[in-house]
Amino acid sequence: MLLALTWTLTCLAYAWRFNRFSCKTFSFLWEENGQSDVFAGRIETIMIALLLLSAGCIWIKKMRWFALAGAVVMISEAVSETCMPSAKYPGLYWAEWSLRYATVPAAILLFQSWEKARVWSCRIMRVAIAITFLAHGVKALLGDPQFIDYLLVFFRRIGAGSLGEPQALTLLNMIGTVDLLLAAHLLFVKLERNQMVLAWMAAWGAVTALARVTYGGWSSWHEVLIRTSHFVVPVVLLLLVRVDFEVGRVTQKCK
């Protein structure tokens, strides 16, 4: 249920952003490929419709697989961002957004009754979380200017004193290193030994999502919802791991 709710919120926030501010696919078609604004606008309208459809289909048993249409829209955005001449990190957009479009197959699988569905759902969540943290870790180590701005504005607004750009870069290097180490730990160490890692990832995902409001004000609320998966998916995986771990311990005691 949590994953389904996360997917619905993500799709609705994307649809609101597209309707309010347009989307990257529109810009790619119109500005970079010379398509008419009418054609690009129609594609954008279709994308909004698919997002709204996807947000509702995840809750309807016989239509659940149609919710994958929203993932197609998000992948289209990643393709458009990657192909834009202004793209600063073209190889990272797919990775840093992977948690968003991986949420829907993970949610659909959790609703299924066949035996391996839960296992595959956990695998998808595990890989997507790790890839997202890897991508953000790399961007932090590269000194992404947007990340620096987030840190400078955050420290100024919470009244924690003045933070200069050199200090922000040092902090980003620390954050990036931690992100990479935790992602590697999640990928290569048994899941039951990653409970504290997942708890940290959920907390840090919430902090980085809320940083959009700290930076852009309450008008950026949709940017937080778009990143709902960044903190909810680690929580869901953590809960599943704990349940399986406790069941396993009980089973061993009963043998």
Considering just the CA atoms, what is the radius of gyration of the chain in Å? 19
Is residue 155 within 8 Å of residue 163, measured between CB atoms? Answer: yes
Is residue 54 within 8 Å of residue 15, measured between CB atoms? Answer: no
Res 200: pLDDT: 96
Res 170: pLDDT: 92
Res 251: pLDDT: 36
- Domain extent, residue 91, equals 2-254
Q: How many CA atoms lie within 13 A of 200 on its CB side?
A: 14
Cα 100 from Cα 83, distance rounded (Å): 20
Q: How many CA atoms lie within 13 A of 216 on its CB side?
A: 12
Closest CA to 57 of 118, 14, 8, 112: 8
Res 254: pLDDT: 35
Is residue 104 within 8 Å of residue 58, measured between CB atoms? Answer: yes
Query: pTM of whole model > 0.85?
Result: yes
Res 246: pLDDT: 58
- Which amino acid would we find at residue 13? A
Cα 124 from Cα 105, distance rounded (Å): 8
Res 245: pLDDT: 62
Sheet strands (E) in 89-234: none
Number of domains in the chain: 1
Res 93: pLDDT: 87
Cα 65 from Cα 57, distance rounded (Å): 8
Is residue 122 within 8 Å of residue 158, measured between CB atoms? Answer: no
User: Average pLDDT per run of 10 along the chain, which is 255 residues long?
Assistant: 95 96 90 88 95 96 94 93 85 90 95 89 96 95 90 78 81 95 96 94 94 87 95 96 63 38
Look at phi and psi of residue 143 and say left if phi exceeds 0, alpha if psi is from -120 to 50, else beta.
left
- Which amino acid would we find at residue 207? V
Distance of CA 68 to the CA centre of its chain: 15
Determine the length of the chain: 255
